[in-house]
Structure 1
Amino acid sequence: MFRSKAEKKVLEAGYEPSRLPPGQYLTDKWPVLHAGSVATYPADLAGWDFRVWGEVESPIALTWAQLNELPTVEVTQDIHCVTRWSRFDVTFAGVPWSAIRELVGQRPSARFAIAHAEAGFTANVPAEALEQEGALLATHADGEPLTAEHGRPLRLVVPGRYFWKSAKWLRGIELRGDDQPGFWERLGYHNDADPFAEQRYAF
């Protein structure tokens, strides 16, 4: 019954029901969910940087100004939270991974990417997930700079996975030859996090 009610709402909103993963409901809001407190920074982001290291030829640390000199893209996609809400047609803008990959010289041995965010939060994905259409380091959502609650100034956006993989307050990407479970994965959440397969938990 839950699924049929959810599908009915999607139809009434004018969308194709197949866009909604099982166990999800559609919302036009963007709920705020995270572990710990909201990260805050100076208005000019003085002292902020974004690092990439690990299986690369040239590790980097970019200031906010340097990051904003890189090419940008805009993508529109659906997002799905493991807490069961979905939001359709969210437009993100930011730096594609390809621009970062060229700077660092990503090695073929880089099979996994670990997102490092504030307060020690991490999220892990296969490195190839960063190459997917729609993946980017987002600075904007729906035409506006990210708010503090949604990850200002930078968050990872990884399409096709529950949204905890899209780490807020991103400060770095570590490329590794081996996988390393992230914050929620170590607490029992599924390593792959495919919403359409309902990969919510590892158990």
Structure 2
Amino acid sequence: MSIDNRIPPGQTLTQGFPVLHYGDVAYYRDMSKWDLRIFGLVEQEVGISYKEFMALPMREYHNDIHCVTTWSKLDNVWEGVPVSTIMQRVKLKPEAKFVMLHAEHGWTTNLPIEDFLRETSLFAIKHNGEILSPEHGYPVRMVVPHLYFWKSAKWLRGIEFMAKNKPGFWEKNGYHMYGDPFKEERYDFD
């Protein structure tokens, strides 16, 4: 596939990795206090400690990412835990159709369950061979590369399974409920 076909309409290629977020950067000094909570429409709530998370099998992923602010970064290499590995610990209720990702400082974003479960979605701990910096989501960042990058929640702390789609933080503030970069689903002010 040519580079032109990999860059969505309205996007500009960047070699850097811009840092954008709302509010404060989350810094962790005691990883024994970090955990990942999986709740909502599950048969039993699941908690995964940082130590347990870091012991899970990791995989390398190669992808392009696209920010709603119009930059695209190609040929990223991530290392992290496949969503399928985490989901081996979870028994979903049949009515679970959507996911709300919960991050530090009350930040959230929504996804249809199919997008969360895609083989390309992951829980990243490294980008291009380096442990994620706090500004980029350390210790764990969700990466959903086929959607605009705000859907790839930094500082991930919880995964909530839901029956109905609800807007997360940016969606409540005018961003599109889905966010396909190739359809330029940036904002939804209706």
Query: Which band: TM-score by shorter chain?
Result: over 0.9
* 1:82 aligns to 2:77 (yes or no): no
The counterpart of 2:15, out of the listed 28, 36, 40, is 28
Return the letter of the residue paired with 2:38.
V
Displacement of 1:46 in angstroms is 2.2
SS in structure 1 at match of 2:94: coil
* 1:58 aligns to 2:6 (yes or no): no
For 1:129 and 1:184, locate their aligned partners in 2 and report how far apart those are by CA, in whole Å.
18
Tell me the TM-score normalized by structure 1. Answer: 0.90
* 1:69 aligns to 2:55 (yes or no): yes
Return the letter of the residue paired with 2:173.
L
Displacement of 1:180 in angstroms is 1.1
* 1:182 aligns to 2:182 (yes or no): no
Displacement of 1:116 in angstroms is 0.1
Q: Which residue of 2 aligns with 1:159?
A: 145
Q: Which residue of 2 aligns with 1:47?
A: 33
Runs of 4+ in 1 over 3 A off after TM superposition: none
* 1:196 aligns to 2:158 (yes or no): no
For 2:58 and 2:34, locate their aligned partners in 1 and report how far apart those are by CA, in whole Å.
19
SS in structure 2 at match of 1:94: strand
Verify the 8 A CA contact 1:94 1:140 in the aligned structure 2.
Answer: yes
Displacement of 1:66 in angstroms is 0.6
Note the residue ranges of structure 2 that are not aligned, 5 or more in a row.
none
SS in structure 2 at match of 1:39: coil
Aligned length: 189
Aligned residues: CA RMSD = 1.3
Which is bigger in relative contact order (C-alpha 8 A, separation at least 6)? 2
Note the residue ranges of structure 1 that are not aligned, 5 or more in a row.
1-14
Return the letter of the residue paired with 1:31.
P
For 1:110 and 1:67, locate their aligned partners in 2 and report how far apart those are by CA, in whole Å.
24
Displacement of 1:51 in angstroms is 0.5
For 1:179 and 1:31, locate their aligned partners in 2 and report how far apart those are by CA, in whole Å.
29
For 1:57 and 1:113, locate their aligned partners in 2 and report how far apart those are by CA, in whole Å.
15
Displacement of 1:37 in angstroms is 1.0
Return the letter of the residue paired with 2:9.
P
